[in-house]
Structure 1
Amino acid sequence: MGILTSVVNTASDEAARDAGHRLASLLDPARICGDLINIDYRSAVVLVHDRLRSNVGGVPKGCFLVASRLAHGSSPNAMLEDTSLILLRVLDKASLPNSSETDRMRYEAGQRVSASNNLNWDDEQTLDKFTANFLRFAGVECRVIGTFMMRMSQKGGWAVQFGADLSNIYSGRGMKVYKPDGELLKLIANFVRPQPKADKHPLADRRIKIGRVRYAASERQGDTTDMVDVTLDPTDLIARRTALFGMSRTGKSNTVKKIASSVFMLRAEDSLRGRVGQLILDANGEYANDNPIDKGALRSVFNGCANSGPTDVVTYGLHPHPKDPQRRLVKLNFFGTEPKSWFDRDAVVAAMAPMIQAKAVVDAALASQGSAQYKTAFMNIDLTVPEDWEPKDITRYRRIVTAYRVILAKAGLMRSSSMQKVSLDRLTNDKLRKALGSHEGYARAAVIFEKGLVSWDEAYEAFNLLRQAIGDKDSPYAEFNRESRKGDEEKDWHDSGLMGILALMEHQGGIRLIGKVGPQHSPDTTEDFADQIVADLSAGKLVIVDQSTGDPELNEAASRRLMWRVFDHQKTAFTNPSLDEKEEMILPPDVIVYVEEAHNLLPKDGDDLKDIWPRVAKEGSKYRIGLVYATQEPSSIMSNILSNTDNWFVAHLNRAGEVKQVRDFYDFGDFEQQILNVALPGFIRMRTLSNPYVVPVQIDPFVANAPADQGGKD
């Protein structure tokens, strides 16, 4: 038994030393840039000599450094405390104990050459070698990010792990400091924070190249030592919130394309589990349409991707596109259709559905200019088919629907071939027509209502005269209404819904505003594009809605309506789940929604859950809706949403107040001045769900039809 124990211990010790050797082998003596001379649990000071600084290609602000007592090629026991690498990030210059003396010496040397046009104060002619070497030492202030060490994995082998702190510090111990490159920098830039298996997507750790490490906009041309690939785990975005912050022309859109294409490429790994529905609301048409920068468009991302084809990407827009023949139109039939029988409530519900869905867009058109009382009354009208469906209920509802359609026709919206005329049959009774006919000013209305099938202009004339009669206290209508109230539970014949519609006839400006919805209307449309998009997303397709044409406010209203449909579908799938063949509940399908100019949609404060975007931002994760929101105004986003954002991509922001919003999260404060001052397109500070710290990245340009680089599985 003793021999067996000895053998086991020897094998265990050899494995631990082998693990320590693997960690020590990551260090390259040629990359030593200084010595650690001061450290606490949050910060460190590194003594750097100019020669070493030059040897490693410079020590820019924000770059990673590694401090360790390990010697390259050694085989220390991985269980020992010193078998570790301390990860640092350069923040600024640090004062040394002799700073006042060295400052004085530089000052005096500068004075000596101040009259010369050719000499610098450090030239050999003006400064002796001993003093020059003395002045070439400087302090570098660093933040302690954490510790890399070797630990036994659950599978029984030794693996590199990271802890975002220090377990101990020694004041009397020095460490060599390295500027990492190669495999060590690759490990640092792409280290994955372990996640509980229950929280991980089945395709987690299939990483895709998104860019390279970049520390400074002024990096030396031709120096490739820091140009290590940075990879992204696309599953980090699934059912999570992702923020893209940056000014215009700083690479937010390019980053969206790289992210969306990376998520799309998951299907290459698994044709079923890798299908993630993605919805891009394309305000400028740059994702749906070809452009010279991308040498194509994001909609061509299926090229070069296994397990995908042209049907996996669907584009929608207000108008057909000559280079996109498969584009579907985001148009609605604002009139609805005519039911086969008004007495069949189910048939009426189906026929009115497009009209009811489109009313949100009509309301947005009215609300676009002011909030007059007549507009509010019109927008408050509910066109939903009532549950009670007795003959009198049918008549009242038909009357409201007909008046509403008459307004649409007056606004210039085209009717289908089956609606070239409008039926006023049975919308009024004999007593009303007789009352109107007894007054010279309103008799024309009685004649039109009596005709039954009339033109849309005639119908408008009749309803407009009816409106005037209702408002005229001296008209015969007043007596008719008094008699009507006696037999109908004291209800006015002119209910509030009808009056809300008729009131618009007094304000032609309101009708003209409704005419703005014309481009979004098609009299021949029979399906709701929102239902089509929901089906596409459920099938794991990439859906791009081109909103570069049309009225922006109406496009926004259409987007809200679409998002309600997506949200409700996902919520229903969560609260009333289907069961698989094992009788286990099926989660809602994964959907990621991309929103640009998020400051116009997401709330800054308050808790208004009546609007769809706050609902998606706050509750979407539960229903498997991921949200990628882009803005140049982080301060406009509700603090609760920011606090629950998992993935961050931060480019240049030009206002200190905006940078402050970002600085308060994670370790973005390390890059505060760089974010504020450096406006280099594609230069991003990135931290995702699986990253334990921020990594500065130069995002690769998106190129259409180019397959994504697979970063491999960690």
Structure 2
Amino acid sequence: MNLKTLSNDIALQNHPIRVLINFLEDEQRKFEGKDYAHYRFVGFVLEIGYNTATIVTSDAFKIAVGGIPRNSLLIMVPAEYTKYTPHFSLLRVDGTADEPLKKEKQQTYFELHKKSMPELDVFTQSELQWGALKTSFLGMYYPHPELSNVIEFSGDLNNIVSAHKYFVYSPSDELLDLIINSIQPSQNLFEIGKLRFTECRLKLPDCKLPNVPVIVSTDDFKGTRTAMFGKTRTGKSNIVKIIAESLIKTTHLNPSTTDKRKHSVGQVIFDINGEYANDNPQDDSTSLASAYSSDCDVYAITPKENTVSKPLRLDFYSNPDISHHLLGTLIREKESHLSNYISSFLSVEIPSFASIQEMGFGDRTRANRKILMYWAILHKAGFPANFSTLQHYGGVNPRFGREQRLEIYEANDRQMPENVTTLDELLIELQLFAERNRNSHLPRLESANNNPLFDSDDEALLEFLVPRSQSASGPRKILPYRIYHDKDAANFVTEILNSLSLGKTIILDLSNAHPEVMNYFSQWLSKSIFEHQVELFSENKLSDHYIQLYFEEAHNLFPSDDSKVTSIYNRISKEGAKYHLGMVYSTQSPSTISQDLLAQTENFFVTHISSRPEVDKLARLNVAYEGLIEDILQTKTQGYVRILTRSNRFVIPIQANKFCCTESTDRSN
């Protein structure tokens, strides 16, 4: 050993690249000792370029390393590697290649089979066992030029020389660990699964399959977009649980006594199937909520017997426009034939409080009165109200003229209150005005400017409040939908925002809910969270706190027609990173998702997809998946996933861990 070699050896004593040095030295000892049964040597380079290389190998070499499946990884090193700084190039096997003697071999095979020779002589066998593999360069590993004890990865090669000056090896588990995990961030690491090159688990004699954990960092998910593609029942939800679990553990690993928002990740899971909120014993599936009960809060529209949850409701009084639209959707879907007065009620345009603020005084009074009529209907149907909420929106006084009121109350022999201050008083007054308005024997009711006091929408609301026929259901029609109402629901958003600030995971159990209800809650909460983060950003208070949103059936929220994407989801997908908002979205088909979102997605998890056009689209979207098209189409094992994260420079095939069978792997140190 010369002085230079000795100096380099000492400098790299604790360097990760030492794994390569030890591997090559061990291979040299095997070669010199003729221990070919454990030799990791694969072959020589037949042809080389900057993007691809053709490898010449033999059956004996392939059997000794346990086989070389398609998409497996190989390393290429200089034949005289001791003359250079330790480094290696990473190759991915694309398939077989034509070797120079292909035609001669085929002719030999043909002659042998024609003569039905049972055995090959040793010389012929030696000639026929050689073949070639086509590989692609994924990049190069070498010591970081500025940082000590750090590996650097480049996606290209700095130089190539003659093909015969390279050796190719099948990496050991230690080298595979270096290849897969050395380029991850140095903190917040967790094991997501095991490296798995093939669906087939048949081992060659005296060989073992790779046993290499795949480590990823939660830093890759915070504030980024993560896609889950694949058919139903292929393990997408399991991966989502593992990611959510890792972010919970990240918050635990980085506690802050001065500011609880520091180093924390709040999460919101829109659980349309109830699988994150509720255990499923039939599927041997543990929910995230039960596994981390102290870290998760479940909000449910329909509470489940064995799941502790809080009510997920809408305050119909605070959101008159939305709740009225929701009632219309629910009632129309339940009944195809409706009475005219019910159809008229459902067709009314109830204004929002925000829109009223932009109106002039006269229009504002009329619009407020419509809301009060709607409130009276809710009250008569038994929807409880929060008095402070009613006061916040201006109270319950419809502000009819005093002379009109006095005349109507006296005609009905009733005592007129000076001001309407309760819902009961409002209901009585509107009932009296409704009956007076439909009395054709008396002059019509007019406003101060001699216009009709009630327009057609007002009359439709009053007709529903006080039906002409005693047999008509009126407000009783909306009784079944009280399950969606909660008078204190306005505090529900504030409560969730506070919990997210503390790093809690919120699971909205939307299972068995009407799609319109699911859509409302998803939009409402997403909008509130986005606005909250924007406010923190403007006040420079984001710190390193993040919020992660999880959407299933994402094609409904982010359709491929970008003009149909709801503005709040569009803003989250485009601007979320700036406001520390990350998102994980799941769907079966890449083609059904907004192109803008796909183009900005950093992390991909792909299970089995059965449609070639869909996989082709994925490959066009991200070239890293080009060589994996056939595997994605053919392999159907549950949990067999091809992952590409922000830190990974190439796709890694893994067998994902089963949720709640994992242990956090902290490799930060």
1:226 aligns with 2:181: no
1:401 aligns with 371
* Equivalent-residue separation in structure 1 for 2:456 and 2:435 (angstroms): 17
Distance change (3 Å), C-alpha of 1:283 and 1:294: same
Pairwise CA distance, 1:696 = 0.6
1:54 aligns with 2:63: yes
Map 1:179-190 onto structure 2 (within 5 A): 179-190=170-181
* Equivalent-residue separation in structure 1 for 2:106 and 2:654 (angstroms): 35
Gaps of 5+ in 2: 28-38, 257-261, 337-341, 389-394
Corresponding residue to 2:448 among 456, 481, 484: 484
1:299 aligns with 2:289: yes
Instruction: Please give the secondary structure, in 1, of the residue aligned with 2:655.
Output: strand
* Equivalent-residue separation in structure 1 for 2:218 and 2:164 (angstroms): 42
1:153 aligns with 146
* Equivalent-residue separation in structure 2 for 1:434 and 1:268 (angstroms): 66
* Equivalent-residue separation in structure 2 for 1:284 and 1:111 (angstroms): 61
Map 1:32-181 onto structure 2 (within 5 A): 32-70=41-79, 75-78=82-85, 83-113=86-116, 123-124=118-119, 127-154=120-147, 157-181=148-172
Instruction: Please give the secondary structure, in 2, of the residue aligned with 1:612.
Output: helix
8 Å CA contact 1:375–1:510 kept in 2: the answer is no
* Equivalent-residue separation in structure 2 for 1:511 and 1:110 (angstroms): 87
* Equivalent-residue separation in structure 2 for 1:168 and 1:516 (angstroms): 74
* Equivalent-residue separation in structure 2 for 1:42 and 1:221 (angstroms): 31
* Equivalent-residue separation in structure 1 for 2:140 and 2:436 (angstroms): 81
Residues 586-622 of structure 1 show CA distances to partners (whole Å, capped at 9, x for unaligned) of 4373100011110111131335675321121111111
8 Å CA contact 1:277–1:538 kept in 2: the answer is yes
* Equivalent-residue separation in structure 2 for 1:633 and 1:463 (angstroms): 56
1:349 aligns with none
Q: Which amino acid aligns with 1:87?
A: L
Distance change (3 Å), C-alpha of 1:531 and 1:670: same
Instruction: Please give the secondary structure, in 1, of the residue aligned with 2:189.
Output: strand
Q: Which amino acid aligns with 2:248?
A: F
Moved more, 14-23 or 264-273: 14-23
1:3 aligns with none
8 Å CA contact 1:436–1:476 kept in 2: the answer is no
* Equivalent-residue separation in structure 1 for 2:71 and 2:474 (angstroms): 57
8 Å CA contact 1:281–1:594 kept in 2: the answer is yes
8 Å CA contact 2:263–2:544 kept in 1: the answer is no
Map 1:509-548 onto structure 2 (within 5 A): 517-523=481-487, 525=488, 527-548=490-511
8 Å CA contact 1:235–1:263 kept in 2: the answer is no
Pairwise CA distance, 1:23 = 3.2
Map 1:361-510 onto structure 2 (within 5 A): 361-362=326-327, 365=330, 378-379=348-349, 381-384=351-354, 396=366, 399-408=369-378, 412=381, 414-415=383-384, 428-429=400-401, 476-477=443-444, 480-481=445-446, 484-486=448-450, 493-494=453-454, 498=458, 501=461
2:392 aligns with none
Q: Which amino acid aligns with 2:90?
A: L
Distance change (3 Å), C-alpha of 1:50 and 1:625: same
1:244 aligns with 228
* Equivalent-residue separation in structure 1 for 2:668 and 2:510 (angstroms): 37
Pairwise CA distance, 1:133 = 2.5
* Equivalent-residue separation in structure 2 for 1:632 and 1:263 (angstroms): 24
Q: Which amino acid aligns with 1:567?
A: F
* Equivalent-residue separation in structure 1 for 2:619 and 2:462 (angstroms): 55
Moved more, 551-560 or 455-464: 455-464
Pairwise CA distance, 1:568 = 0.8
Map 1:616-627 onto structure 2 (within 5 A): 616-627=572-583
Distance change (3 Å), C-alpha of 1:630 and 1:484: same
Instruction: Please give the secondary structure, in 1, of the residue aligned with 2:177.
Output: helix
Alignment coverage as a number of residue pairs: 625
Pairwise CA distance, 1:103 = 2.3
Distance change (3 Å), C-alpha of 1:112 and 1:597: farther
1:305 aligns with none
8 Å CA contact 1:577–1:588 kept in 2: the answer is no
8 Å CA contact 2:231–2:609 kept in 1: the answer is yes
* Equivalent-residue separation in structure 1 for 2:208 and 2:433 (angstroms): 77
Distance change (3 Å), C-alpha of 1:560 and 1:135: same
What value does the CA root-mean-square deviation take over the aligned residues? 4.1
Distance change (3 Å), C-alpha of 1:375 and 1:53: farther
* Equivalent-residue separation in structure 2 for 1:43 and 1:500 (angstroms): 74
* Equivalent-residue separation in structure 2 for 1:448 and 1:107 (angstroms): 110
Residues 282-340 of structure 1 show CA distances to partners (whole Å, capped at 9, x for unaligned) of 111111112234563212444xxxxxxx5422111123444333x211123323xxxxx
1:315 aligns with 298
Distance change (3 Å), C-alpha of 1:653 and 1:465: farther
2:391 aligns with none
Residues 251-281 of structure 1 show CA distances to partners (whole Å, capped at 9, x for unaligned) of 0000001111111111332113442101111
8 Å CA contact 1:367–1:375 kept in 2: the answer is no
* Equivalent-residue separation in structure 2 for 1:11 and 1:130 (angstroms): 44
Residues 388-436 of structure 1 show CA distances to partners (whole Å, capped at 9, x for unaligned) of 99998996466323311244357x55336989xxx99765446657999
8 Å CA contact 2:251–2:503 kept in 1: the answer is no
Pairwise CA distance, 1:48 = 1.9
Pairwise CA distance, 1:518 = 2.7
1:569 aligns with 532
8 Å CA contact 1:356–1:384 kept in 2: the answer is no
Corresponding residue to 2:639 among 682, 691, 705: 682
Distance change (3 Å), C-alpha of 1:221 and 1:535: farther
8 Å CA contact 2:345–2:461 kept in 1: the answer is no
8 Å CA contact 1:519–1:550 kept in 2: the answer is no
Distance change (3 Å), C-alpha of 1:363 and 1:65: farther
1:593 aligns with 2:549: yes
* Equivalent-residue separation in structure 2 for 1:39 and 1:385 (angstroms): 68
1:205 aligns with 2:187: yes
Q: Which amino acid aligns with 1:269?
A: L
2:22 aligns with 25
Instruction: Please give the secondary structure, in 1, of the residue aligned with 2:448.
Output: helix
8 Å CA contact 1:23–1:150 kept in 2: the answer is no
1:628 aligns with 584
Q: Which amino acid aligns with 2:286?
A: G
Gaps of 5+ in 1: 1-7, 114-120, 195-203, 303-309, 336-352, 579-585
Distance change (3 Å), C-alpha of 1:662 and 1:448: farther
8 Å CA contact 2:218–2:250 kept in 1: the answer is yes
Q: Which amino acid aligns with 1:708?
A: E
Identity of aligned residues (%): 28
Instruction: Please give the secondary structure, in 2, of the residue aligned with 1:57.
Output: coil
8 Å CA contact 2:278–2:290 kept in 1: the answer is no
Residues 166-203 of structure 1 show CA distances to partners (whole Å, capped at 9, x for unaligned) of 11222343422111121100011213267xxxxxxxxx
* Equivalent-residue separation in structure 2 for 1:21 and 1:418 (angstroms): 72
* Equivalent-residue separation in structure 2 for 1:143 and 1:710 (angstroms): 31
Pairwise CA distance, 1:514 = 5.8
Distance change (3 Å), C-alpha of 1:25 and 1:134: same
Pairwise CA distance, 1:52 = 1.1
Pairwise CA distance, 1:575 = 1.8
8 Å CA contact 1:244–1:252 kept in 2: the answer is yes
Q: Which amino acid aligns with 1:692?
A: R
2:35 aligns with none
* Equivalent-residue separation in structure 1 for 2:454 and 2:461 (angstroms): 11
Distance change (3 Å), C-alpha of 1:571 and 1:607: farther
* Equivalent-residue separation in structure 2 for 1:656 and 1:503 (angstroms): 57
